[in-house]
Amino acid sequence: MAGRTDENIPTYEVANVNTKKIHVGSFGHLWRQNLSSCELSLAEVSGVDLEDEELATELDCTADIATEIKSLCSVDALKSNEDGEEADPEIIPEDSCLVTLSIRNKIIERRKEMAVDRAFRQEVFLHEMESCGLGARPEDLSDMVDEGELVLTLEVFHPVVYQKSNGNKPNVAIQVLGTQKLTELRDAIKCVSDLQIGGEFSSNPDLAPENICKDLFKSAFFYFEGVFYNDMRYPECRDLSSTIIGWSESHDRGYGKFQSAKMEDFTFNDLNIKIGFPYLYCHQGDCEHIVTIVDIRLIHHEDCLDRRLYPLYVRKHWFCTRKCNVCNIYVAKWVTNQDSLAPDDPCFFCDVCFKMLHYDTEGNKLGDFLAYVYVDHGTFN
């Protein structure tokens, strides 16, 4: 057992907010040291109950006592009430003395008054996201996650808040494995600014180029604890952090010395981080996402065990899509400015309505306007 002083045991720096700095790999190592192979095992639980003799030797008592304990502590005894029958889980017993249940009773009564009593779309969506991949096992054993591997849960926030929110900023939660590289997370983070297409296409909308910003500008960086991890996988990648490091060093700004490293050389196990501390992911030059590592834990046999499914989305924010201003059915694909035909500036159109309104049958432009490709935030819903 490592001493209390081990700096890789996470403890609070600010209570309930973030921990002190730890090295992710050593943290995982500490857990693995303390646990037996049985608990790290990813095999499915089979036969939790021991035989009487086994139990007797384990507890160092006679077989009679072992049998007695086993029957006393059986799970079935917990579930049934005095009459020995299991109650219906849908019904709250009338004579209950639990505070929680009396509160729930009130909620149920309120629910009954509502017109519809069913799970709402948001709720279903959230639950599906949460349970997606749970218990998944790969067919090919080489894709199996190793025993005792770490699972990190990260929350990635969207850069701008488009919708009024009650303190909740739209974010996604992603699970990654400790042995995965930072670049794998970078590729998994979806952001509309990656899909933008630059330029004005009012004269020939069909010729709008296919290549999106993601293919044109491949630079990005993560910032964790004083180190910029730059994505340098491609020759056209630039070191985005050099400007910031230069700025910080040009005057003594009190930020200490920043370092830069290559994103593709680091796995999550190599990082030094504080759990709960806000860090940064920056791409497309200025699209900045706050990234927080909210949780680190050992993998459990009921988790998703297919390595290929990670990074795994466990929660997504559901954005309202912007609809076409004409048909109000389809999601907007075009946005126009200074449009002589439109009531609004800017005005949004779907592909069909846009072409029907702004071009004649031969494809000639009608009226004055500037047209841009619009990428909706709900694209990733």
Partner 1 sequence: MNFPGIKEDCETFLGLFQATDSVRYEEFLTIWKQMKFNTIFHGGMRNLESNRFSRDLFSVVSVFFLPPYTFQIRVGAMYLLYGLYNTQLCQPKQKIRIALKDWADIEQFHQELVTAQHLDAVYIYRQLRRMRAFYFTGMPITLNFKSQKSIIPEDGNEAFLDVKDKISDLITTETLEEIMNIQEHYQKTKCHFSADKSQPDRSLSLIREDFTDNLQSLVEEFQLWKQEKKAPRTKTDDEQEGTSQESEASERARHLAQIKSKTYNAVTQAVKSRRHRQVQMVSAPTEVETYLPLSKYQKEKLKKAERKAELDAIKKAVTPLPKKKPVNMAAIHEEDSSSSSEGEDCIRTVFTPAVAAIWWGITFLDQGCNLRGCRGCDRTRAQEV
- Nearest CB to partner 1, comparing residues 277 and 354: 277
Burial of 120 (0-12, 13-18, 19+ CB in 10 A): exposed
Report helix, strand or coil for 334. Answer: strand
Taking CB under 8 A as the criterion, the residue among 135, 199, 209, 246 binding partner 1 is 135
Q: Which residues, including other chains, have CB under 8 Å from residue 78's CB and lie 6 or more apart? A: none
Cα–Cα distance list, 332 to 163, 315, 352, 372 (Å): 17, 25, 10, 11
In this chain, which stretch among 96-104, 248-256, 281-289, 317-325 interacts with partner 1, using CB under 8 A? 96-104
Residues 287 to 316 in contact with partner 1, rule: CB under 8 A: 290, 292, 294-298, 300-302
Taking CB under 8 A as the criterion, the residue among 51, 64, 98, 132 binding partner 1 is 98
String of contacts with partner 1 for each residue 240-279, x by CB under 8 A: -----------------------------------xx-x-
Tell the smallest beta-carbon distance from residue 147 to partner 1 (Å): 12
The neighbour count for residue 263, using CB atoms within 10 Å, is 21
DSSP lists the bridge partners of residue 261 as 229
Using CB under 8 A as the binding criterion, the count of chain residues that bind partner 1 stands at 81
- 359 φ/ψ angles, rounded to the nearest 5 degrees: -135, 150
Residues 175 to 204 in contact with partner 1, rule: CB under 8 A: none
Tell the smallest beta-carbon distance from residue 87 to partner 1 (Å): 6
Query: 232-256 burial by CB neighbour count: b if 16+ within 10 A, else e?
Result: beeeebeebbeebbeebeeeeeeee
Tokens of 148: 């005792």
- Nearest CB to partner 1, comparing residues 178 and 205: 178
Tell the smallest beta-carbon distance from residue 78 to partner 1 (Å): 5
Tell the smallest beta-carbon distance from residue 321 to partner 1 (Å): 23
The neighbour count for residue 276, using CB atoms within 10 Å, is 18
Q: Which residues, including other chains, have CB under 8 Å from residue 342's CB and lie 6 or more apart? A: 325, 336, 357, 369
| Residue 106 in contact with partner 1, rule: CB under 8 A | no
| Residue 92 in contact with partner 1, rule: CB under 8 A | yes
| Residue 65 in contact with partner 1, rule: CB under 8 A | yes
Residues 5 to 44 in contact with partner 1, rule: CB under 8 A: 9-12, 16-19, 22, 27, 30-31, 34-35, 38-39
Tell the smallest beta-carbon distance from residue 2 to partner 1 (Å): 9
Taking CB under 8 A as the criterion, the residue among 51, 53, 54, 58 binding partner 1 is 58
Distance, CA of 344 to CA of 340 (rounded, Å): 9
